[in-house]
């Protein structure tokens, strides 16, 4: 079906889902942009409700097959309208609406020797997405988002994760709830903080099960995590720079933890 009017109710709802966190939460739906990301969502078991394709677009045979296997509606949009329902300046000719999943601690199923990453009160969607991309690449057992400040299905998170969000076990809860959960799992808690006598991250053992806790770039972790930590670690660096980007730091720690536990060869 071709949608040619910007006043079409279906398009108006699509724009709300794209730009309004409240709409995404109320309707339990979100927008995925790009053929690659849509395919990854389908492969990860997400239900697709509708596809919006550039008028006259030719998609790959793989995409055609996966689209045919869904019960989703198919729409075509002229270039001007597709641009209005896309975050990227140059879209990839496809946008889809998917059904959100629940991300509670009770749904997590962790192995006995799990490695999880906890991110407390991170606000920048780009950082969160980049962390999830790395977590998916390394097959991290879970990413726990404590005191979330940003909607998990924010289109900028999905974009920055390149669809990695769909393959990572994720739970959102308060810091207190996540701490209680980690204690129930008998996990060592390594909290990151800058202090001269802290253990250097490349010298830490990351003995599993283990959780590494990171805070926002401007405030770091809260006192709750500093008090609960069984270990406090820092990433060694020169005096020329006093901090690293959150997603870069998380990538370093995930790599070191997997390397120390011989899990890199299983991930790549």
Domains of the chain (ranges, CATH numbers): 9-99 (3.30.1330.30), 105-267 (3.40.1280.10)
What average pLDDT does this structure show over 2-21?
93
What average pLDDT does this structure show over 44-60?
93
Tokens of 114: 């799990």
User: What's the pLDDT score for residue 211?
Assistant: 98
Residue 55: CA count within 13 A, CB half-sphere:
11
User: Which has the minimum average pLDDT: 26-30, 87-91, 246-250?
Assistant: 87-91
**Global confidence as pTM:** 0.93
pLDDT at 139 over 90: yes
pLDDT at 266 over 60: no
Closest of 75, 79, 78, 94 to residue 36, by C-alpha: 94
pLDDT at 50 over 50: yes
Q: What crossing angle do the helices spanning 125-138 and 246-260 adopt, rounded to 10°? A: 20
User: Which has the minimum average pLDDT: 85-89, 146-150, 231-235, 254-258?
Assistant: 85-89
User: What's the pLDDT score for residue 71?
Assistant: 87
C-alpha pair distances (Å), 218 with each of 72, 87, 123, 193: 42, 27, 10, 12
Please, which pLDDT band fits residue 89 given cuts at 50, 70 and 90?
Answer: low
Long-range contacts of residues 20-28, Cβ cutoff 8 Å, at least 24 apart: 21/151, 21/154, 24/100, 24/151, 24/153, 25/151, 28/99, 28/100
User: What's the pLDDT score for residue 242?
Assistant: 75
User: What's the pLDDT score for residue 91?
Assistant: 58
pLDDT at 180 over 90: yes
* pLDDT tens string 202-245: 999 999 999 999 998 788 899 999 999 999 999 998 888 777 89
Tokens of 266: 């299983």
pLDDT at 260 over 70: yes
Closest of 156, 116, 158, 111 to residue 135, by C-alpha: 116
Residue 24: CA count within 13 A, CB half-sphere:
20
User: What's the pLDDT score for residue 87?
Assistant: 80
How far apart, in whole angstroms, are the C-alpha atoms of residue 67 and residue 39? Answer: 9
Radius of gyration of the chain (CA): 20
* pLDDT tens string 190-205: 999 877 679 999 999 9
């Amino acid at each position: 079906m071709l949608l040619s009017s910007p006043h079409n109710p279906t398009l108006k709802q699509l724009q709300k889902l794209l730009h309004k966190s409240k709409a995404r939460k109320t309707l339990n739906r979100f927008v995925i942009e790009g053929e690659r990301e849509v395919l990854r969502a389908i492969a990860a078991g997400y239900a697709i409700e509708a596809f919006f394709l550039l008028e006259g677009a030719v998609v790959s045979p793989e995409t055609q097959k996966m689209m045919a296997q869904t019960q989703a509606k198919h729409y075509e949009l002229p270039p001007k309208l597709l641009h209005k329902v896309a975050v990227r300046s140059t879209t990839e000719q496809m946008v889809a609406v998917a059904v959100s999943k629940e991300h509670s601690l009770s749904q997590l199923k962790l192995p006995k020797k799990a490695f999880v990453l906890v991110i407390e009160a991170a606000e920048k969607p780009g950082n969160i997405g980049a962390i999830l991309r790395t977590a998916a690449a390394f097959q991290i057992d879970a990413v726990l988002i404590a005191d979330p400040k940003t909607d998990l299905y924010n289109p900028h998170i999905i974009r920055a994760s390149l669809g990695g969000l769909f393959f990572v076990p994720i739970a959102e809860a308060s810091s207190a709830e996540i701490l209680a959960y980690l204690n129930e799992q008998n996990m060592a808690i390594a909290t990151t903080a800058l202090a001269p006598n802290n253990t250097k991250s490349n010298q830490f053992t990351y003995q599993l099960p283990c959780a590494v806790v990171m805070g926002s770039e401007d405030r770091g972790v809260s006192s709750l995590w500093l008090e609960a930590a069984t270990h406090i670690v820092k990433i060694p660096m020169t005096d020329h720079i006093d901090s690293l980007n959150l997603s870069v730091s998380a990538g370093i720690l995930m790599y070191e933890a997997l390397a120390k536990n011989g899990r890199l060869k299983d991930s790549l």
